[in-house]
Amino acid sequence: MGTWTNWAGNQSAEAVRMEQPRAADDLAAIVGAAAARRQRVKAVGSGHSFSGVARPEEVVVDLSNLDDLLSADRDTGVVVVGAGTSLHRLNDLLAGLGLALTNLGDIDAQTIAGAISTGTHGTGERFGGIATQVVGLEMVMADSTILWCSPSERREIWSAARVGLGALGIITKVALRTVPLFTLRAEEGPMPLDELLNRFEELATTFDHFEAFWFPHTGSAQVKRNTRLPLAEGLDLLPAWKEWVDDELLANRVFGWTVQLGQRRPSWIRPLNRVAARALGPRSFTDLSYKVFTSPRRVRFKEMELAVPRAAATEAIRAVVGAVEASGLNIAFPVELRVAAADDVPLSTASGRDSVYLAFHVPASQDHLPYFRLVARVLDDYGYRPHWGKLHDLDAELLRTRYPRFDEFVGLRQALDPDGVFANRYLDRVLGPCGYPEPPPPPADT
């Protein structure tokens, strides 16, 4: 027996049985034994979800032994990797083959299975989340069989399991369609918030990958504009000292100190934000795509991220800004803004609609409820969809109204896992109860 805790420290489980399979057959035996004991099983990766989506209750399966590149076809770009492979390791492995994922989020600590299962995404109006790059999955099912699914084999399972919340089975292998290794020309710098919002559509359309960070209690934002370039055009790297000063000293160490100061003296947060908004000046450089997409995050936090329809983006952002400034709350972390293309994954936050994401953060030790509930109330008018790995308080009744294919997914879950072997309290709340009777009442995350 052991104790499990996630990265942020806000989700934990005690007295859980810890298992570390080395192959799909090992995992199938673990699942079969747990099912015979009427126990619930959850697979965990890096623990980078803030919600309870991966919180174990009885048996926890650590997939870190399944962490290698299993095959690669440079002609088609299709690679197969173990489910426990971290994005950081995967990016390095792919680069060694002259390949890359076409889009990434800004954190690379997650495992590939965890990233796709929770709907992890990057930014770019023509690009979907990581799940849209998945062309095949091997999974251990609730009856302990090992199943392969793809667009040509068990398509209905493949379609749903790309963002499966761990509810349909435990992923052991992931097949991804990659692209030739490429670079990004990064242009980063400050911009007045009003200008950002007035030019939001222009910026999102002009650049391949666009994102912005608004510093609460200021009229300032930091804007990142990335343009895809062929590898043959070469690199134009930042000087090593400049990269260290910006990405380590300012964005992590100094930011961490200001967060600590703000927690001790909340009245200092607003002037500290004004200083932070001016600290990072303009810069431009060209580097390998995955090195531009991702950045180190050393300050621990809790996060809520909500997706709204692209057409309502600037109106929704202005509403959030107005509510935060009128609330009297002191918010230390910037609000992150990103865009994504519509996709065809049933429980993707961008399912069937072009989307804009608004991400909200607080220090890991801080009470997040006042802030997160405030902005959730504002964005409720826009039919927001919550990132599955991040904090929110919606339940199945409300989520059903926001996902046209919600009942399709729930029906598939019931067919594949009628006893709820892969259920937990979070899934009981967001998808509805499943399986063994008398589960404890599912608490809200926020």
Is 21 a member of any domain? no
Q: Which residue has the tokens 């989307």?
A: 355
For residue 323, CA distances in Å to 197, 217, 328, 412, 445 come to 16, 11, 9, 39, 22
Residue 199 resides in a domain = yes
Q: Are residues 85 and 152 in the same domain?
A: yes
Residue where a domain terminates, one of 180, 212, 235:
180
Whether 279 and 175 map to the same domain: the answer is no
What is the chain's mean pLDDT, rounded? Answer: 94
How many angstroms separate the Cα of 69 from the Cα of each of 176, 293, 296, 328? 11, 21, 23, 50
Q: Are residues 262 and 356 both part of a single domain?
A: yes
Query: Cβ contacts of residue 124 below 8 Å, gap of 6+?
Result: 103, 208, 209, 210, 339, 340, 341
The per-residue DSSP string of 266-335 comes to GGGHHHHHHHHHHHS--EEEEEEHHHHH-----S-EEEEEEEEEGGGHHHHHHHHHHHHHHH-----SPE
Judge if 228 and 345 occupy the same domain: yes
Domain contains 423: no
What is the extent of the structural domain holding 89? 69-180
How many structural domains does the chain have? 2
80 and 229 part of one domain = no
Taken in order 142, 147, 148, 154, is the CA torsion positive or negative? Answer: negative
Residues 90 and 160 grouped into a single domain: yes
Per mean pLDDT, which range of 6-20, 101-115, 432-446 is the poorest?
Answer: 432-446
Are residues 271 and 371 both part of a single domain? yes
Residue 293 covered by a domain: yes
Residues 201, 117 share a domain:
no
Does residue 123 contact residue 186 with C-beta atoms inside 8 Å? no
pLDDT at position 60 is: 96
Whole-model pTM? 0.94
Q: What's the confidence (pLDDT) of residue 297?
A: 87
Amino acid 166: pLDDT: 97
| Cα four-point dihedral sign 250, 251, 253, 258 | positive
Report d(CA 286, CA 276) in Å as an integer. 24
Give the end of a domain, one of 117, 145, 180.
180
In angstroms, rounded to a whole number, what is the distance separating the alpha carbons of residues 119 and 306? 12
Domain boundary, last residue among 135, 150, 180: 180
- Mapped onto helix, strand or coil, the DSSP state of residue 430 is helix
Segment 50-92, tens digit of pLDDT = 999 999 999 999 999 999 999 999 999 999 999 999 999 999 9
Q: Is residue 255 part of a domain?
A: yes
pLDDT per residue as tens digits for the range 82-134: 999 999 999 999 999 999 999 999 999 999 999 999 999 999 999 999 999 99
Amino acid in position 372: F
Question: What pLDDT is attached to residue 281?
Answer: 85
Same domain, 242 and 148: no
Q: For residues 302 and 359, state if they share a domain.
A: yes
| Residue 445 CB partners (closer than 8 Å, separation 6+) | 50, 51, 52, 391, 392, 393, 426
Residues 250, 125 within the same domain: no
CATH of the domain at 302: 3.40.462.10
**Secondary structure (DSSP) of 171-219:** EEEEEEE-EE-EEEEEEEEEEEHHHHHHTHHHHHHHSSEEEEEE-TTSS
Query: 173-208: buried (b, 16+ CB within 10 Å) or exposed (e) per residue?
Result: bbbbbbeebbbbbbebebbebeebbeebeebbeebb
Domain assignment present for 407? no
Q: Say whether both 197 and 335 belong to one domain.
A: yes
Position 126 in a domain: yes
Q: What is the pLDDT of residue 288?
A: 98
pLDDT tens digits, residue range 228-279?
Answer: 999 999 999 999 998 898 889 888 888 888 889 888 888 889 888 888 888 7
* CATH number, position 101: 3.30.465.10
**CA angle 154–156–159, rounded 5-degree value:** 110
Report if residue 100 sits inside a domain.
yes
- Asked if pLDDT for residue 393 goes beyond 60, the answer is yes
